[in-house]
């Protein structure tokens, strides 16, 4: 599980000052839980993800992953970035298998590239190059790459932000299916309220800069959730409204 | 100082804007079939003006020889046994092989040093001032020194070819590696990749389009360097052929050799471009 206590991160600015991106942040995520972090632009949610991924170091506080402090990237964590970041000179299959070729010997068994691609509906696309894939397909391949080392935690930083609305809904349904099949612990950073509520067990709402957690809401909707049923569900409507109110500064 | 050296390479982000790439397109325009009849029409006009000025304006043949004389010199140099000492093949082979050897040495050194400079701040700090100083110096001016050091044999030609190849490739390698998309570096960091793994898997391939822009410039400079070294006193090579023809005012031969050099230059540039399309396929 993930345990964050009193996390703080400030960045120096060009004029010699400092910007507090994240302050007094506490959060705990259970194993196998799907948590969405939603907040306005610049609320430090990407900073939170970078700290969780071990790509950045906090100025104060503590992040623990399964009882061990996170100080550098871990094999137990897979990251999906905002852009798919597939390497254009490698085939899709080589991109998915990239984590197996770097970063030292695997501690556990790796998944088969073919099976992963099949799971996300990319059967037969392994030998294609990234430029031949649509944005949604590229991001699905990036998810495969994040899963291939069998990490226990999947961190996703606005992975569907660049996709059109319909593709995004489709990808949300896909991600739920993948999560139900793999039972990873997922932390999804997003600025889409409906995406956050639709996918998560818990929605964490963050304040504008300096970012900190202002609400932790449980989503009491049974799974698997379908878009058609979920968007009309009273709990979905209620939660979406509350998140919106929190983000726009209104009262609940 | 470092920023000033980065500047010329910053233009390499858009390879077509580079002088060498523009030259490449201009050269391709000279090859029939690529942009068709317009190029051929221009060539025909040029040749007609040449012939008219020789016959009607009575330009002396030691200034501008007739096309017929140039063609005769070309035929004399080309339609002989490749082993004939008066033909063009032996000197051309000497020039091209020295150019190629120097090019390969220059490219290898430039990619290695450019990579080290981009990877290690200390190496950059150590070498960049010298790189910048040498970059600003007209390298042809160093040629006499190279001949003193390396003699009148092949080594001074190879050294000049390598020297002139070195800088565009160095600067482009350095700039290309530094321009690696930060999100790709984040990806490699998240995978706990080592520095060397990140270099091989991400930085070097990311820099490939930049490096090839340097390679295309470099091949033109490599030939230039070799011929300059030949001018300064060599026993063989196409530069020597030009000097010998010049000594006896055999201007048609000078023209004929320049025509051959033109084709050779275009050919080498097209060859590098073809390799570029093969390697940088994305």
Average pLDDT over residues B183-212: 96
State the Cα–Cα distance between residues B30 and A224, nearest whole angstrom.
65
Which residues, other chains included, contact A25 with Cβ-Cβ below 8 Å and sequence gap of 6+? A4, A6, A7, A8, A44, A48, A61, A211, A212, A213
Average pLDDT of chain B to the nearest whole number: 86
Q: Which residues lie across from A218 on neighbouring strands?
A: A202
CA-closest candidate to residue B140, choices B113, B161, B155, B110: B161
pLDDT tens-digit readout, A221-235: 998 898 888 988 999
- In Å, how far is A76's CA from the nearest CA of chain B? 10
Give the Cβ contact number of residue A120 at 10 Å.
23
Kindly provide the ipTM of the predicted complex, given to two decimals. 0.90
Q: Which residues of B touch A131 (CB under 8 A)?
A: 282
Residue B235 pLDDT grade (very low, low, confident, very high; cuts 50, 70, 90): confident
* Strands laid side by side in the A60-65 sheet: A18-29, A2-12, A60-65, A68-69
Residue whose pair of structure tokens reads 């069998």 in the numeric block: A150
Task: State pLDDT tens for residues B13-71.
Answer: 444 444 444 555 555 555 555 567 888 899 899 989 988 888 888 888 888 888 888 99
User: Does any CB of chain A come closer than 8 Å to the CB of residue B185?
Assistant: no
Q: How far does A217 lie from chain B, in Å, by closest CA?
A: 29
Across the interface, do A102 and B281 touch by the CB < 8 Å criterion? no
Spatial separation of the C-alpha atoms in residues B160 and B163, rounded to whole Å: 5
Contact check, Cβ <8 Å, B197/A99 = no
Residue in chain A lying closest to B204 (CA): A89
A103: phi > 0 → left, psi -120 to 50 → alpha, else beta; which? left
| Confidence at residue A86, expressed as pLDDT on a 0 to 100 scale | 97
**Predicted confidence (pLDDT) per residue in B74-129, tens digit:** 888 888 877 777 788 999 999 999 999 999 999 999 999 999 999 999 999 999 89
pLDDT in tens, A42-93: 788 889 999 999 999 999 999 999 888 998 999 899 999 999 999 999 999 9
Global pTM reads 0.83
In chain B, % of residues over pLDDT 90 = 57
Flag if B190 and A102 touch (Cβ within 8 Å).
no
Average pLDDT in chain A: 90
pLDDT value of residue B30: 53
| Facing A81 at nearest CB: one of B183, B192, B201 | B183
């Amino acid at each position: 599980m993930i345990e964050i206590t009193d996390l703080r991160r400030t960045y120096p600015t060009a004029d010699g000052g400092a910007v507090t991106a994240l302050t007094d942040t506490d959060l705990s995520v259970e194993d196998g839980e799907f948590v969405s972090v939603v907040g306005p632009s610049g609320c430090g949610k990407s900073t939170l993800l970078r700290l969780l991924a071990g790509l950045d170091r906090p100025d104060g506080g503590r992040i623990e992953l399964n009882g061990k402090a996170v100080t550098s990237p871990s094999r137990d964590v897979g990251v999906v970035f905002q852009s798919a970041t597939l390497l254009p000179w490698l085939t899709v299959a080589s991109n998915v298998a990239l984590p197996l070729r770097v970063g030292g010997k695997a501690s556990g068994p790796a998944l088969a590239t073919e099976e992963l691609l099949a799971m996300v509906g990319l059967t037969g696309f392994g030998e294609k190059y990234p430029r031949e894939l649509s944005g949604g397909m590229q991001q699905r391949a990036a998810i495969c790459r994040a899963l291939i080392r069998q990490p226990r935690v999947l961190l996703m930083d606005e992975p569907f932000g660049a996709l059109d609305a319909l593709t995004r809904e489709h990808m949300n349904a896909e991600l739920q299916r993948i999560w139900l099949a793999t039972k990873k612990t997922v932390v999804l950073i997003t600025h889409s309220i409906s995406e956050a509520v639709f996918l998560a067990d818990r929605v964490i709402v963050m304040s504008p800069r300096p970012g900190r957690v202002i609400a932790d809401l449980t989503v009491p909707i049974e799974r698997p959730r379908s878009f058609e049923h979920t968007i009309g569900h009273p709990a979905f409507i209620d939660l979406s409204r509350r998140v919106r109110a929190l983000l726009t500064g209104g009262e609940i | 100082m470092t920023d000033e050296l980065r500047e010329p390479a910053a233009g390499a982000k858009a390879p077509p804007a580079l002088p060498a790439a523009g030259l490449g397109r201009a050269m391709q325009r000279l090859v029939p079939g690529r942009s068709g009849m317009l190029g051929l029409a221009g060539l025909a006009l040029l040749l007609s003006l040449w012939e008219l000025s020789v016959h009607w304006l009575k330009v002396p043949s030691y200034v501008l020889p007739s096309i017929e004389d140039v063609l005769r010199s070309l035929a004399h140099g080309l339609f002989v046994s490749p082993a004939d000492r008066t033909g063009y093949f032996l000197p051309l082979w000497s020039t091209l092989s020295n150019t190629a050897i120097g090019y390969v040495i220059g490219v290898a050194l430039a990619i290695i040093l450019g990579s080290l400079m981009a990877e290690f701040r200390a190496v950059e700090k150590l070498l960049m001032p010298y790189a910048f100083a040498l970059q600003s110096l007209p390298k042809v001016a160093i040629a006499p020194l190279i001949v003193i050091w390396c003699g009148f044999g092949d080594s001074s030609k190879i050294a000049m070819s390598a020297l002139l190849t070195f800088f565009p490739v160095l600067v482009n390698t350095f700039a290309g590696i530094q321009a690696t998309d930060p999100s790709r570096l984040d990806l490699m960091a998240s995978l706990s990749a080592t520095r060397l793994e990140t270099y091989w898997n991400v930085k070097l391939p990311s820099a490939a389009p930049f490096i090839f822009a340097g390679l295309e410039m470099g091949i033109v400079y490599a030939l230039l360097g070799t011929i300059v070294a030949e001018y300064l006193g060599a026993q063989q090579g196409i530069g020597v052929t030009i000097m010998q023809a010049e000594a006896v005012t055999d201007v048609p031969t000078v023209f004929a050799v320049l025509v051959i050099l033109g084709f050779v230059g275009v050919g080498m540039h097209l060859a590098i471009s073809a390799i570029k399309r093969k390697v940088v396929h994305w």
